[in-house]
Amino acid sequence: MSTLQVADFPDTRADPFAATARGSIPRRPRLLSYVGRWGRARRWLPADALRVLDLGCAFGYGSAAVIARGPEHRAIVGVERDPQLLAQARRHFPWLQMIDADLGELPMPDSCADAVLLLDVIEHLAEPARALAEAHRVLAPGGALIVTAPHRGPTSGLDSVNLYTAMRRRRPSWPAPEGMVATEDGEHRHFSVPELRSLLEPSFTVERTARTGLGLQELVNLAILIASGPLHAPRVARALGLLHLAVYVLDDMIPTGPLAYHLAVRARSDKREEGL
């Protein structure tokens, strides 16, 4: 697979999976292929889902983790709007196809994908229904959708972005967290299972859910936000980043039901075959 530039798609409905491969995909195991939302997404993907779209792929680490342990002929295309994250993805994972696009207006044809991933994305969107509608459009009939988001439950109050936002109200000199929230009201959203199900239906049928963890990594992330913002200590923030990943991975392994901080859902598109 090749690095995909925006210029590779002059047609706003070009098939992203039709690009000619320019190199082999590294299939070596990656830690993130087994753990967290990335490992769960890989395990939940149907074996016959060979064309996968990773919407809101950030700097591509999740896309690389999913493809590394997938079937030999599986292809994954990442979609990201943030130019800095997109540049980082293309630099670190040059074998991945990456597209700069709005998740609410994807530049690709109907029914071009077998599966769509939205991993910790919809909580940042002002209009998550737009992204879900586009996911439905580009999915083939019966295609799989995997969504992860913060769970609305007793541990929601640990959300580091919301805590930091609340602290900024008393300390207006503190900088806003960059790239963390895109909602109009500044909230990092949480979803209960019924709320997420209502967003998905009637376009999708929910097949599987998982609720895990207690959100312990949010306490580490709050320290990262403070270190990188008002304390101006980027080295401390980077060091805490490794701790954040370790705590998240361990936290996500624990099934916690109604107490959960993390929510994952797999659904199937109810789109019918043409002519039926």
- pLDDT per residue rounded down to tens, the chain (276 residues): 333 333 344 445 788 888 655 556 666 656 778 889 999 999 999 999 999 999 999 989 899 889 887 788 889 999 999 898 889 988 888 888 899 999 999 999 999 999 999 999 999 998 999 999 999 999 999 999 999 999 999 999 999 999 999 999 999 999 987 765 656 566 889 999 999 999 999 899 999 999 999 999 999 999 999 999 999 999 999 999 999 999 999 999 999 999 999 999 999 999 887 544
Domain shared by 246 and 260, yes or no: no
**Pair 187, 169: CB distance under 8 Å:** no
**Pair 164, 225: CB distance under 8 Å:** yes
Domain shared by 110 and 182, yes or no: no
Range of the domain at 60: 1-152+190-213+256-276
Domain shared by 97 and 183, yes or no: no
219 CB-near residues (< 8 Å, 6+ apart): 158, 160
**Residue 265: what residue type?**
V
Q: How far apart are the C-alpha atoms of 19 and 14, rounded to whole Å? A: 10
Distance spanning both ends of the chain, measured CA to CA: 34
- Give the pTM: 0.90
Domain shared by 158 and 113, yes or no: no
